[in-house]
Structure 1
Amino acid sequence: MGTLHVGRISRIDLPDPVLAHVHAVVIAKLRVHEPVLVCWIAPDGRRDEVLVHPAMSIVVRYDVDDGLALDRAWLERLMRSANGVGGLRLTAEAIAEMAALGARAPESDAAAPAG
Structure 2
Amino acid sequence: MATLQYGTSTDPIHIEDRALAHLKVVIATKLRRQESFTLSWKHSDDEPGGRSTIWLHPSIPLRFTFDDPEPPQLNMRWIEDLMHSANSSGGIMLVDEVLDPDGA
Please tell me the TM-score bracket, short chain as reference: 0.7 to 0.9
- Which among 64, 67, 75 is matched to residue 68 of structure 2? 64
Cross-structure match for 2:84: 80
SS in 2 for 1:13: strand
- Equivalent-residue separation in structure 2 for 1:86 and 1:37 (angstroms): 7
Structure 1: tracts of 5 or more residues without a match: 109-115
- Equivalent-residue separation in structure 1 for 2:94 and 2:48 (angstroms): 15
Contact 1:40 1:49 (8 Å CA) reproduced: yes
- Equivalent-residue separation in structure 2 for 1:23 and 1:44 (angstroms): 25
Q: Is 1:11 matched with 2:12?
A: yes
Instruction: Give aligned-pair identity as a percent.
Output: 34
**Structural RMSD (CA):** 1.9
Cross-structure match for 1:89: 93
> What is the aligned length?
98
- TM-score, with length taken from structure 1: 0.77
SS in 1 for 2:26: helix
- Equivalent-residue separation in structure 2 for 1:21 and 1:74 (angstroms): 7
- Equivalent-residue separation in structure 1 for 2:8 and 2:72 (angstroms): 26
Kindly state the Cα deviation for residue 45 of structure 1 after the two structures are TM-superposed.
2.4
Cross-structure match for 2:59: 55
Structure 2: tracts of 5 or more residues without a match: none
Higher helix share goes to which structure? 1
SS in 1 for 2:12: strand
Kindly state the Cα deviation for residue 25 of structure 1 after the two structures are TM-superposed.
0.6
Cross-structure match for 2:36: 35
Contact 1:26 1:36 (8 Å CA) reproduced: no
SS in 2 for 1:59: strand
